[in-house]
Structure 1
Amino acid sequence: MRNITSPAQQISLFRSRIQSRSFDDTTVGILESILVSKNVESLNRVRSALKQLLKDESLVIIREIHEESVEIKLLCTDFLVHLFALIGDFESCLALRYEALIMREQNTTPNPKLRVSYKEWLNFAEHSLENGFYSIANKACEKALMCSETNHMANPETDEFLEDVIIKRIKRLKDAALLSISSKSVQAQAAAYMKQKEVERSTQFTNLVETKSFGSSLFRNGIKKNNLRRLHDHQRL
């Protein structure tokens, strides 16, 4: 491979690899080389460009593999998840991970190997909570609880103490997610309330200024009329 030093050239090469669907270690290595040895400002610009590029291409890829087997879909999704994680687009990364888990869950009956464990849902819930996606974390916790119950029914000999510890851990995480959702809602309501109060204060101030202005005008007009009346009285005398 020829030596490419310019960020623009590196990004162009990365784009061509993605567009040719070269989902391999070489493509990952190119991306990693783009993300090193940059100052903060330059790195932010590069990351922003890569995020947009990868988002656009991932939509095309997902449409292309719509009719492919579940295995191929999962391979492509996992590769995109890895790339999104490298460039720091955790929202897209988590979104694709969620889609992959749901895809596996929906195809468990024909292929039991795709079964999603409660540990996978729990791990996903923790990552979602850490990155501020509280609603998704809550849903993942619900999935984890369902998987745990299903696992216990299928394997009644499972250690009850260990099962109880796992369920308590999932429920604690779920409570944390719900608390964060509630807190976020309260913050949004408080922000809306403060904004409304600000608008009201601004309106009151405007009305007050207008009222004062109107009062001052009346006062000045009264003085003028009084002076004119005194002038006319003086002229008559």
Structure 2
Amino acid sequence: MPAAVAEQISLFRSFIEEGSYSDVSLRILETLLVAKDLRALLEIRSTLQELLRSEVTSVMARIAAKSTDEKLDIAEFFVKAFALVGDVESCLALKYEALVLRESKYYNNDDFRVSYQEWYTFAKDSLHNRYYSIAVKGFDSALSCFQSEHNTKGVTHDNHVNDHIVDEIIRLRDEASAMVSSCSVQALTSKYLKRKSTEDGPKTNSFPINPRPAASYMHRVGINKRNANKLRRSQQQQRPQVPDP
């Protein structure tokens, strides 16, 4: 990695460690991700992803005692940072935490509370990107939020429309749940097959390295030998006899 890039990464790290969760830090991050060489870009992106994962864990632990608004600001910063470096899973996971924080803080404030549309969009993004466990949580929250909104405000649409929205959320949630189960089964199956392969390894190696040739092969070898003997005898019979001196 070029020295100039390493220096910029070090600068970005220092900003995070000093608590500068601002647009200035994000611009440094954007600058780092401008690379003409694809291999260099992938290396830089990987380094930044690891850095952000490490930093977000320690940062979120340090701000545990801060106000909800401060936590939200910092969470949003990391959501944007993870999005920039292409870490979709971390971005969605942190966005979920930010939505939960907002919901707990502003559940009685119609202007700032999380709407079911926000939960629904978040859950669909998670499902689309194959992060099924996060998607299930999002759809559960969307369903709960939708029902709460309509119980509090009264029905604003006809029952048919409401039923359709609920059915669609449940359908997608069940789809995400099924994918979670499928992935779990696949992981268990892969683990089982790997273990069986290891257990069966010595048995496989016990077979002879040079097994006996097949019968058809041996038959062809016998025919070739007989034909060679016949040809040799025929040549000997046809060879002219040299008289004794």
**TM-score, normalisation: structure 1:** 0.76
**TM-score, normalisation: structure 2:** 0.74
CA distance in 2 between counterparts of 1:75 and 1:171 reads 31
* Aligned residues: CA RMSD: 2.5
The alpha carbon displacement at 1:166 in A equals 2.0
Q: Which has the larger Rg? A: 2
Report what 2:98 is aligned to: 100
Q: Is the partner of 2:106 in helix, strand or coil?
A: coil
User: What is the CA deviation profile of residues 100-137 of structure 1, one whole-angstrom value per residue up to 9, with x for unaligned ones?
Assistant: 12222222356555422111211221122223221221
CA distance in 2 between counterparts of 1:98 and 1:116 reads 11
Which segment is superposed worse, 52-61 or 96-105? 52-61
Report what 1:24 is aligned to: 22
Percent identity of the aligned residues? 42
Q: Is the partner of 1:107 in helix, strand or coil?
A: helix
| Counterparts of residues 156-175 of structure 1 (less than 5 Å) | 156-160=154-158, 161-175=160-174
Report what 2:152 is aligned to: 154
Report what 1:218 is aligned to: none
Instruction: From 38, 41, 45, give the equivalent of 1:40.
Output: 38
CA distance in 1 between counterparts of 2:11 and 2:185 reads 47
Change (3 A) 1:165 1:109: closer
Which segment is superposed worse, 19-28 or 78-87? 19-28
The alpha carbon displacement at 1:28 in A equals 1.4
Report what 2:176 is aligned to: 177
Report what 1:49 is aligned to: 47
Change (3 A) 1:59 1:200: closer
Report what 2:123 is aligned to: 125
CA distance in 2 between counterparts of 1:75 and 1:42 reads 31
Q: Is the contact made by 2:132 and 2:176 (CA closer than 8 Å) also made in structure 1?
A: yes
Paired amino acid for 2:201: S
The alpha carbon displacement at 1:141 in A equals 1.0
Q: Is the contact made by 2:93 and 2:134 (CA closer than 8 Å) also made in structure 1?
A: no
More helix by share: 1
Paired amino acid for 1:168: D
CA distance in 2 between counterparts of 1:141 and 1:27 reads 33
Q: Does 1:192 align with 2:183?
A: no
Change (3 A) 1:105 1:208: same
- Give 5+ residue unaligned stretches, structure 2: 212-245
Paired amino acid for 1:162: V
User: What is the CA deviation profile of residues 70-123 of structure 1, one whole-angstrom value per residue up to 9, with x for unaligned ones?
Assistant: 111101110111001100112221221111122222223565554221112112
CA distance in 1 between counterparts of 2:38 and 2:79 reads 24
Pairs aligned (count): 207
User: What is the CA deviation profile of residues 153-188 of structure 1, one whole-angstrom value per residue up to 9, with x for unaligned ones?
Assistant: 112231034323322221221122022123213322
The alpha carbon displacement at 1:201 in A equals 3.9
- Give 5+ residue unaligned stretches, structure 1: 213-237
Which segment is superposed worse, 8-17 or 72-81? 8-17
CA distance in 2 between counterparts of 1:106 and 1:140 reads 15
Change (3 A) 1:146 1:204: same
Change (3 A) 1:138 1:8: same
The alpha carbon displacement at 1:206 in A equals 4.5
Change (3 A) 1:41 1:148: same
